[in-house]
Amino acid sequence: MARRTSRRGAEQGAVRRRRLPMRYLLPSLILVALMAMLMLRGFVHNEILADHRIQASAASDRVPKNILEGGPVIDTRSGREDSVKVPDHKLVLTFDDGPDPAWTPKVLDVLKRHDAHAVFFVTGTMASRYPDLVQRIVDEGHEVGLHTFNHPDLSLQSKRRIDWELSQNQLALAGAAGIRTSLFRPPYSSFAGQMDNKSWPVTEYIGSRGYITIVNNTDSEDWRRPGVDEIIRNATPKGDDGAVVLMHDSGGDRSQTVAALDRYIAGLQDDGYTFDTLTASLKVPSAHTEVTGPDLWKGKAWVVAVQASENTTSALVVGLAIIGGLVLARFGLMLLLSVLHARKVRRRGFSWGRPITEPVSVLVPAYNEAKCIEQTVHSLTASDHPIEVIVIDDGSSDGTARIVENLRLPNVRVVRQLNAGKPAALNRGVANARYDLIVMMDGDTVFEPATVRELVQPFGDPSVGAVAGNAKVGNRDSLIGAWQHIEYVMGFNLDRRMYDMLNCMPTIPGAVGAFRRSALKRVGGMSDDTLAEDTDITIAMHRDGWRVVYAENARAWTEAPESVQQLWSQRYRWSYGTMQAIWKHRRAIIERGPSGRFGRVGMPLVSLFMILAPLLAPLIDVFLLYGLVFGPTEQTILAWFGVLAVQAVCAAYAFRLDKERMTHLLSLPLQQILYRQLMYVVLLQSWITALTGGRLRWQKLRRTGAVGLPGGASPGGGAPQQQEMDRRPVG
């Protein structure tokens, strides 16, 4: 019994392990639903399964003579070969290719004004998209016929495709008006005398499926737009003959058709003609039959699905326009303000104020950083600015504190505490710091000798409460590292220049930032309310009236995640934490003073560019894929390369500002195709977590200790790392 219970527990555990994580499942379901909506939209817009081929003329020796010389109503049901003419002084107006939201209502208005009735041969695509118009046609006493779903030349199609075209057309008609019809007009049809050996077998097959084929014997040729007078002349029958008159209420500009119709009906009614439906003119039962039961509900479901796809696609198009505008506006703003920022801080004689020469306390919160901490501390002791180093060991279990203590370096202290998280470690460090200027960094980060000095110079301006440094990716020799390198240089540091000029810097990077002790004290220190304590403290600084600026020369080399799983965990925490921070400080929007200024300027910009825009950005790639498959392909490719070119210009300028090698930008197109998709899904997962009230715990990334200073120099002057660990950044 115990063994059986154990086996059952193991099996249940295996099931739990195999279960698809929600972070994959929900984004995947959303993506599948989105693509399904787009596919359905393409289907009903003749972009999928459409066949625009037209059969060339053929001989007609196998077409019965009575059909070629007969009337426009052809009945091949149950093996018949009958044709019927419309009685004298009776005209059956027929309108093809609709319903159209622009022209069908105008045609119906003219018919109603003259108390005339007609037959509308609708396509399934248009009936699915505009079911209300089909219902209006039926309600106002007109007849409806089938004109296939996708409007292909049926003489080029298989019987299976013909059946499909008919059944889909009937499905749309059932969903739109709750009826079926027995009337059918083949696309590209003409007079009965034009039927040939290719179209006649189709007509026979259509009859075997229970349909009466309606062609015409008076063609207005309104599709040519020859002018109102010519349309009337073409549509007028000879003598007193009755006729089936061909017109169109869709497929282009039908203003001439509407204008001609008004004069045409009025004139022929004065001549004694009547305008009625086909079955009324022939005095036979209506072609309509009511649909009930499952067929009705299938039709209704189809129409609802099409309407949902139409509405979804319309919303996506609006979203694409918005995101396109936001992306271009952001790039333009970044370039403009980055140029101004560079000119400002690089002009000769620029100074933040008095030079800062007093000692600085550098805080290094560390949790299980044994592989990195030695390089980090050695890089700090090489600083050209007087500092004290405080390593706050947050309950490490790998001997991090002991490694630092064994170094026995001057001005380096270790403070131990039970594991309480990074914010608590930083607050503990502030409490133990001797000096008024506090530099904070991560335990996996390496500083250059000038980093601390450059980082604290802005404090020469007494209004500056915090400074953001220039965080750079050290392990950039892998593809995923190179992509993050582009992101850091362009997406983060170029952004920081823009936000600096707008005085709404959203985040001081945890890898390299500096604070006034008095400013930290006024805002209550580092908070653990969010997972993005760096964004939280930065917004708090703004709300308290302090300036937050960017020091471009304060470079810090940090170890970026080296696997997709690690990157996912980091960015998930960042994006979710940013949402938490914005929500926490939401009252800034309605407050006065500095808090209100950031709330009404900084918060909208941060929300727009860091949360909303990235969330909508996948629309660019979704429509790229859709356009590549279903067209217009050339315009789609040009648009995508246009966006890529704008990004490349911004990235090149950012690399020039940071004096980085341009060769890394060779992977920019691949980054846009692959890396960006991962960031989309991460942000979507963060939104889902936030909206569902989920909680996200802190996730510790695995470190390799692979990051050193540029050029390969060991921070502490010691022996080089092992070959497999030599992952220094390319200078």
Annotated catalytic residues are: 96, 248
CA dihedral 60, 64, 65, 69 (to 10 degrees): -90
Q: Are 371 and 438 in contact (CB under 8 A)?
A: no
CA 371 to chain centre: 40
CA dihedral 90, 96, 101, 103 (to 10 degrees): -60
Strand 183-184 to 212-214 pairing = parallel
- DSSP calls for 13-38: HHHHHHSPPHHHHHHHHHHHHHHHHH
Which pair of structure tokens corresponds to residue 594? 């500095």
φ, ψ for residue 301, nearest 5 deg: -65, -40
Local structure of 364: helix, strand or coil: strand
Local structure of 285: helix, strand or coil: coil
- Distance, CA of 484 to CA of 472 (rounded, Å): 9
Closest C-alpha to 684, from 21, 20, 39, 24: 24
E strands present in 141-219: 143-146, 179-181, 183-184, 212-214, 218-219
Local structure of 74: helix, strand or coil: strand
Q: Are 391 and 427 in contact (CB under 8 A)?
A: no
CA distances from 182 to 146, 166, 208, 302, 665 (A): 8, 11, 12, 21, 63
CA distances from 607 to 494, 582, 583, 614 (A): 17, 8, 10, 10
Name the strand (E) or helix (H) holding 554: strand 547-558
Tokens 């010691």 belong to 718
Local structure of 174: helix, strand or coil: helix
Largest Cα separation within the chain, whole Å, is 115
Which pair of structure tokens corresponds to residue 244? 């089936």
As a whole number of Å, the CA-based R_g of the chain is 37
Please, which residues bridge with residue 361 across strands? Answer: 388, 438
Strand 464-473 to 547-558 pairing = parallel
- Distance, CA of 232 to CA of 267 (rounded, Å): 10
Q: Are 180 and 291 in contact (CB under 8 A)?
A: yes
Tokens 């993050």 belong to 484
Helices 676-691, 618-630: inter-axial angle, 10-degree rounding: 120
Please, which residues bridge with residue 143 across strands? Answer: 119
- Distance, CA of 92 to CA of 262 (rounded, Å): 15
Closest C-alpha to 709, from 510, 509, 448: 448
Cα 448-671-505 angle, rounded to 5 deg: 50
> 634 CB contacts (<8 Å, ≥6 apart)?
none
Which pair of structure tokens corresponds to residue 149? 């779903």
Question: On the CB side of 203, how many CA atoms lie within 13 Å of its CA?
Answer: 29
> What is the CB neighbour count within 10 angstroms for residue 524?
11
Which pair of structure tokens corresponds to residue 723? 């070959």
> 513 CB contacts (<8 Å, ≥6 apart)?
439, 440, 441, 455, 466, 467, 468, 469, 534
- Distance, CA of 594 to CA of 337 (rounded, Å): 22
- Distance, CA of 242 to CA of 87 (rounded, Å): 5
In the DSSP assignment, the letter for residue 674 is I
